[in-house]
Amino acid sequence: MSGETTRQELFQYVIRLGDNALINGQRLAEWCGRGPFVEEDIAMTNIALDLVGRARMLLTYAGEVEGAGRTEDDLAYFRNEREFRNFQIMELPVGDFAFTTARQFFVDAYDYFYYRALQHSVDSTLAGIAAKTLKECEYHLRHSAEWMLRLGDGTEQSHAKISTAVAELMPFTYELFDADGIDRAMQANQIGVDLNTVEALWNEKVNNVLDEATLERPELKYTRSGGRQGLHSEHIGYLLAEMQSLQRAMPGQDW
């Protein structure tokens, strides 16, 4: 670790990555048993499993960096809303299948380019996690991009639904690239990534897929941000209530 990077900064950086994966995985897992057909049900839960697996690696590492003895479970189950550092786009309710598809597409494209850059981190643990997770990001992105095409260039109804989803979600994508001091410090120390590069690649991919899917990219009339600082929508409380209820009721339960 570079001398300029404090332990607390690295902890914050890692926990953001872990929380993004955890909250996205938890939301996606809500489709388990409710998918539009069995193959897609399996696909979404498989992807959710990858995300939770990624969260486990990152939160374990965050606990090690913090050095206060907190485990992955302590961090996942015993923090409150304001202590979570995920982007708001992750916590939005699943909505319909079009909404879930559009969210996954935006997030998968971000994750793919982000972890592709992060695999070159000078922090060997983060680089290892990134290289591992990148393989999974590849087929996540392939999956959601295919669905964007199918829904956008599909029926009148599917086109209308995915258009609405894209319009609703686009303001939340602003936050993905809304770097703060920790992001800049991590980039300067070559632990983190250059978000401007990720943003350019993301824009190119998103524009290409939207174009091919005959979808318009809506202009941003407003933006949402704040997850990095623990500012969230009302939805995260409900998500955490469900995710944490067992451990809150019976702390330390194992099976």
- Give the interface with other proteins as residue ranges (CB under 8 A): 39-40, 42-43, 46-47, 49-54, 56-57, 124, 127-129, 131-133, 135-136, 138-139, 141-143, 145
**Both tokens assigned to 186:** 């991590």
Residue with Cβ nearer other proteins (53 or 95): 53
CB of 136 to other proteins, least distance (A): 6
Residue with Cβ nearer other proteins (50 or 91): 50
User: Which spans in 95-232 are helix H?
Assistant: 97-118, 124-152, 156-173, 181-188, 195-212
CB of 142 to other proteins, least distance (A): 6
The answer to whether residues 112 and 138 touch, using CB atoms and an 8 Å cutoff, is yes
First to last CA, the chain: 36
Rounded Cα distance between 111 and 202, Å, is: 9
Residue with Cβ nearer other proteins (109 or 176): 109
CA 95 vs CA 73, 217, 238: distances in Å = 28, 20, 14
CB of 69 to other proteins, least distance (A): 19
Output phi, psi for 20, to 5 deg: -60, -45
Residue with Cβ nearer other proteins (131 or 179): 131
Residue with Cβ nearer other proteins (53 or 218): 53
CB of 180 to other proteins, least distance (A): 27
Rounded Cα distance between 117 and 127, Å, is: 9
CB of 132 to other proteins, least distance (A): 4
The answer to whether residues 34 and 45 touch, using CB atoms and an 8 Å cutoff, is no
